[in-house]
């Protein structure tokens, strides 16, 4: 009986993927495969559609550059949305303003997140154990001390990753701490 339910689930997912391919057009296979990854926007579940972020009548979204399309805003009216503004339409808490903003937010949400889906939690482009080190370099000093920036992290690194260890929890920005601690 279990084999039947597994086969049924695979069939349903294949049907959803096929419907999404038909709606999205020739460039869709890569996007559909991303949307079927473990961490994704709820498009396959029918709670969201491609048109929530992309207007199909106003041209193509620019790869890695946001939608940059004139489109209807959730709050009413029309506007050209930047790479972050498209995300902020739904993810308002990450908008700020913050007294201490994470540089990655200014560079764009896609610096850390894959907008269509990822195998990593929170649609991150890399595992959280290595994501921060793409921009924040660690250096080993004399005596085996490990520095990230100008701060000695030797005793902190074994506790976990940057935010899972409880150190840099305000990852998008902070109102009170320049090191995004809270």
Model confidence at 8, pLDDT cuts 50, 70, 90, reads very low
H or E, element range at 129: helix 128-131
Q: How many angstroms separate the CA atoms of 22 and 122, rounded?
A: 27
Rounded to the nearest 10 degrees, how much is the dihedral formed by the CA atoms of 178, 107, 169, 121?
-170
Closest-CA residue to 51 (of 38, 41, 37): 41
Across all residues in the chain, what is the average pLDDT? 76
Q: How many angstroms separate the CA atoms of 55 and 52, rounded?
A: 8
pLDDT value of position 58: 60
How confident is the model over 30-41, as a mean pLDDT? Answer: 86
pLDDT value of position 135: 87
* Between 5 and 81, residue with greater pLDDT: 81
How confident is the model over 23-47, as a mean pLDDT? Answer: 78
pLDDT value of position 113: 93
88-93 contacts, C-beta under 8 A, 24 or more apart:
89/53, 90/52, 93/172
- For the segment 146-176, what is each residue's pLDDT rounded down to a tens digit? 888 888 888 888 888 887 788 888 889 999 9
């Amino acid at each position: 009986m279990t084999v039947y339910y597994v086969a049924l689930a695979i069939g349903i997912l294949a049907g959803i993927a096929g419907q999404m391919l038909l709606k999205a057009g020739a460039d869709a296979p890569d996007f559909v495969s991303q949307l079927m990854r473990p961490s994704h926007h709820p498009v396959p579940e029918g709670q969201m559609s491609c048109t929530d972020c992309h207007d199909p009548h106003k041209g193509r979204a620019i790869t890695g550059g946001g939608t940059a399309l004139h489109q209807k805003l959730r709050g009413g009216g029309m506007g050209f949305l930047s790479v972050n503004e498209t995300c902020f339409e739904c993810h308002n808490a990450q908008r700020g303003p913050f007294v201490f903003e994470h540089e990655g937010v200014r560079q764009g949400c896609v610096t850390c997140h894959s907008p269509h889906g990822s195998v990593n939690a929170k649609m991150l482009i890399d595992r959280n154990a290595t994501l921060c080190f793409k921009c924040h370099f660690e250096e080993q000093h004399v005596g085996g001390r490990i520095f990230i920036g100008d701060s000695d992290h030797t005793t902190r690194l074994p506790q976990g990753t940057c935010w899972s260890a409880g150190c840099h929890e305000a990852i998008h920005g902070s109102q009170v701490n320049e090191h995004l601690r809270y």
